[in-house]
């Protein structure tokens, strides 16, 4: 299945905090910032994510927040 989002960067998994249902995965990315993702523990285990793995990080906005300046 091909992702529908168009924005992506390359990141390296730096930590994984597993919960019963959800897991927090943090990434180091090539641009000067850090990104994180919350996904199901089933997904973390299904992808066999390990610290140090290089992955593509695809970003897709779920909400658009208008700001009036």
What number of other Cβ atoms are within 10 A of residue 7's Cβ?
9
Please tell me the pTM assigned to this model: 0.55
Point out which residues pair with 21 in neighbouring strands: none
Rounded to the nearest 5°, which phi and psi values hold at 34? -120, 145
What number of other Cβ atoms are within 10 A of residue 23's Cβ?
19
Domain boundaries, the chain: 7-48
Q: What is the pLDDT of residues 32-61, one digit of tens each?
A: 677 788 889 999 999 999 999 988 877 776
d(CA 6, CA 42): 25
Q: What is the pLDDT of residues 3-43, one digit of tens each?
A: 555 666 777 889 999 999 988 888 887 766 777 888 899 99
Entry field: residues in the chain = 69
């Amino acid at each position: 299945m091909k992702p529908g989002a168009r924005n992506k960067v390359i990141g390296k998994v730096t930590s994984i905090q597993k919960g019963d249902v959800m897991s927090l995965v943090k990434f180091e990315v090539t641009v000067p910032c850090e990104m994180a993702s919350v996904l199901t523990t089933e997904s973390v285990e299904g992808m066999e994510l390990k610290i140090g793995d290089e992955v593509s990080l695809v970003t897709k906005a779920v909400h658009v927040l208008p700001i009036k300046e």
